[in-house]
Amino acid sequence: MKVLGLITEYNPFHNGHLYHLKKSKEITDCDYSICVMSGSFVQRGEPALVDKWTRAKMAIDSGVDLVIELPTIYSSQSAEFFAYGAIKILDGLGIVDCLCFGSEIGNLNELNIISNILVNETEEFKHFLKKYLTAGYAYPKARSLAISDYLKSKNIDLNNINKIISSPNNILAIEYLKALKKINSNIKPYTIKRINAEYNDINMTGEISSATAIRNEIFKTLNGIENIKSAVPNTTYSHLKDFLNKYGSFNNIENYAQIIRYHIARFDKKSLTELFDIENGLENRILNCIKENTSIKDTLNCIKTKRYTYTRLQRLLIQMIIGLDKKTLSTLYSQDNLYIRVLGFNQKGKILLNKAKKKSKFPIITKFANYRKINDNNLNKIIEIEKRATDIYFLGLPNYNGKNFDLDYLISPYMKIDG
């Protein structure tokens, strides 16, 4: 029994994900698969296109054996926190042998060289990083430039280094490797070179298209869901149609414009500075720009600076409406414990769960209400934030009604017992 770990968002599950799943099993020689997947809100700082249970169904129906939820305190953060939370869960299960992730470069050795620099953070590297942060660069860009300078100072020649450390999947890959090293995990990493579509491609490129392009196509026209049919498995298409029929629309950050404006209206400058990912001065731009614009897109373009990217600002707004302030997150990140929240499984996944119950460092939750039996205040706080995030997620849907509250208690994990 050899178990593959995957870190995903499946927003939505498409043909590229199916290729990655099959190829990962092939190169790792694993016969079981577990994915840790973002819940209601994703790493870009947006609500997921469809809810977490629907996305878990897509994954299980396409061959993933067990889907575990990545808590919102990690899924709505930068690549570093996102990766660390997911790796912590996979390692904590105690049954995962391999991790396979996509990357633009497809070269594990070069990704490891960079991850080692970031794990060890020498004084020389810190000097380069400080130089670029002081110059006003956003942290991801400053870090990329600092890595490039550090490698040059050591006469380490990596081809296209700036492209490597600025490509989205490479960035996540480096963070996965960092996290594995930080927690001294025995999970063996593998990488697969991304094919055809780039992560941020906004246009459809046939049967293998990026999730970004698929979402853009869906929102472009009323017929958008038909236009993406060839780029997703039949089961994904079916689940998307069911969701659309039930809720009247797919979710996106513009659906939260009034909620976000309400929160900003009730915040003073001091309250804004207490948000997790905010620095002095940005609160003034937020307050000014929200008065001048009605759409989230226009508001973010108004606030955006060289240091604050569009995605980072989206995450900040999501953190604000969920209530993730500096004090809360710093407390929760400082503790070692986590939990395993099951969203779906098949027959093989059931075998994995039984094995994990004997090996896991963390409590396993299949029935949400059982979290109250866990005697850990910080862990309970993380789970309560998860419930809040779920409730807020459904507020963004046009066919929302009061029955969409407390769904964490009402919806059971998806079970596909025929295989």
For residue 129, the tally of other CB atoms under 10 A from its CB is 21
pLDDT 10s digits, 184-231: 999 999 999 987 656 556 778 889 999 999 999 999 876 679 999 999
pLDDT at 264: 87
How far is C-alpha 384 from the chain's CA centre?
19
Please give the structure tokens belonging to residue 348: 């093989």
Binding residues for ATP: 7-20, 102, 169, 194-195
State what percent of residues in the chain have pLDDT above 90: 75
Rounded to an integer, what distance in angstroms lies between the CA atom of residue 72 and that of residue 385? Answer: 7
118 contacts: CB under 8 Å, gap ≥ 6: 143, 147, 174, 178
List the domains of the chain with CATH numbers.
3-106+173-248+336-416 (3.40.50.620), 108-166 (no CATH), 253-332 (no CATH)
pLDDT at residue 7 greater than cutoff 90: yes
Q: With bands split at pLDDT 50, 70 and 90, how would you rate the model's confidence at 100?
A: very high
Residue range 334-351: mean pLDDT, rounded: 95
CB 271 within 8 A of CB 53: no
- pTM reported for the whole predicted model: 0.94
Residue range 344-358: mean pLDDT, rounded: 98
**DSSP code at position 179:** H
Please give the structure tokens belonging to residue 327: 């004090």
Please give the structure tokens belonging to residue 30: 């694993």
Query: What does the angle CA 314 – CA 320 – CA 323 come to, to the nearest 5 degrees?
Result: 140
Looking at per-residue confidence, does 222 or 135 come out higher? 135
Residue range 244-259: mean pLDDT, rounded: 94
What end-to-end distance do the CA atoms of the chain give, in Å? Answer: 16
Phi–psi pair at 234, nearest 5 degrees: -55, -35
Q: With bands split at pLDDT 50, 70 and 90, how would you rate the model's confidence at 419?
A: very low
How far is C-alpha 329 from the chain's CA centre?
17
pLDDT at residue 335 greater than cutoff 90: no
pLDDT 10s digits, 143-187: 889 999 999 898 887 777 878 888 899 999 999 999 999 999 999
pLDDT at 223: 65
pLDDT 10s digits, 17-34: 999 999 999 999 999 999
pLDDT 10s digits, 47-66: 999 999 999 999 999 999 99
pLDDT 10s digits, 269-308: 888 888 877 877 888 898 889 888 889 999 999 999 877 8
pLDDT at 305: 84
pLDDT at 201: 66
Binding residues: 7-20, 102, 169, 194-195
Report the chain's mean pLDDT, rounded to a whole number.
Answer: 92
